[in-house]
Amino acid sequence: MYIVVIGGGKVGYYLAKALLGEGHEVLIIEKDAGVCEEINEELGSISLRGDGCEAATLAEAGTERADMLIAVTGDDEDNLVSCQVSKHKFNVPRTIARLKNPQNETLFKMLGIDVTISSTNVILEHIEEEVPTHALTHLLVLEGQEIVEIKIPPEASTVGKAIRDFSLPPDSKLLLIAREKGKNVVPAPNTILAVGDRIIALTTHDTEEKLRDILVGD
Amino acid sequence: MNVLIVGCGRVGAWLARLLDADGHQVTVLDTDAYSFRRLRFPGLLNEFKGTALVGNGIDQDTLKKAGIEQADVFIALTQGDNRNIMASQIAKHIFKVPRVICRIYDPLRQELYSNLGIGAISPTAIFADLLKAQLEGKAEK
């Protein structure tokens, strides 16, 4: 595949290196001449100096034959414009943008950016997983919905109670209860919650805290 | 009209004062409070009596605080084309502001975003045309 990467910072550099390793053809567009030189010295002549938001630079990079464009500069607005210009002017089939502000995800999706990756969210999710006191972990964010994992701690007031005893928010659904040694249970109204249960549930951003409160019984 | 202007540079401040003098309800947003001095410069225009707020025009929470939900018109006049483009698209698509105007210096980007429904104006093209007309003696004197 031919992949154009916008931004030659740390993310762009290691991304290009990994993509080259997988046998793809890669070009990095970077504004800073010094950074371009460093990339060319270390990875071979794969950088082009220029503004990745400008149609002229993108044309020079042969963006019209690119299979994918990945914008990973440190500025959300620059990543957005690079993706939009390459989509609308060069018909790039797949555009991926890095996001700093997770709030921008909805806008980017609305504007046709195929994939957004919020570095802030990714880091936050990994930290959540490592903090044992935090009962709720985000596993996957879908459009408008999300899949979360809620752990039942020993002090939860819901231990020993059946699922039918709780009134769950209407937009939330329990999908699976993961138990130790792979003894997984598909939640039914008479399923009794136990300490250490990891409940996998489909919910929304707005109701996740309510769902957590109901299942943990705070 | 209820107008929200993002970017209090020379153009932003001048426009804010003109609209304010005409009795419109104007809010100006800028990341740097020092820019607001332009709203008070003595001379040709009356002092600005609207609202000036410090904040980032591409942050949705900040825009809400600046009253974007009540705005009839949104105008993006920061120094960065991409910032203006993003702010305008937030105004148009997230907050459904009825009228969105955006300054884009790069004429190519201006053309693209006009086609995407943003009221984009390129001062570069306009000013170059104006100069050319003057030089060729076609301008009104």
Q: What is the pLDDT of residues A180-195, one digit of tens each?
A: 887 899 999 999 999 8
pLDDT the model gives residue A142: 79
Question: How would residue B47 be classed by pLDDT, with cut points 50, 70 and 90?
Answer: confident
Question: How would residue A156 be classed by pLDDT, with cut points 50, 70 and 90?
Answer: confident
Beta-carbon separation of B86 and A84 below 8 A: no
Q: What is the pLDDT of residues A105-126, one digit of tens each?
A: 889 999 999 999 988 888 877 7
Cα B67–chain centre separation: 16
Report whether pLDDT(B141) > 60.
Answer: no
Region of poorest pLDDT, from A70-79, A111-120, B95-104: A111-120
B141, part of any domain: no
Domain count, chain B: 1
**Interface probe, candidates A51, A77, A90, chain B, greatest B C-beta count within 10 A:** A77
pTM for the predicted model, two decimal places? 0.77
B65, part of any domain: yes
pLDDT the model gives residue A173: 93
- Residue ranges making up the domain that contains B71: 2-135
Report whether pLDDT(A17) > 60.
Answer: yes
pLDDT the model gives residue A218: 63
Across the interface, of B80, B81, B90, the residue whose CB is closest to A107 is B90
A139 or A112, which is more confident? A112
Task: Characterize A35-72 residue by residue with b for buried, 16 or more Cβ atoms within 10 angstroms of its Cβ, and e for exposed.
Answer: bbeebeeebeebbbbbbbbbbebbeebebeebebbbbb
Residue with the two structure tokens 């009825």? B98
B98, part of any domain: yes
Size of interface A-B (CB pairs under 8 A): 53
Spatial separation of the C-alpha atoms in residues A194 and A151, rounded to whole Å: 10
B119, part of any domain: yes
B140, part of any domain: no
Which domains does chain A show, CATH number per domain?
Answer: 2-122 (3.40.50.720), 131-216 (3.30.70.1450)
pLDDT the model gives residue B137: 84
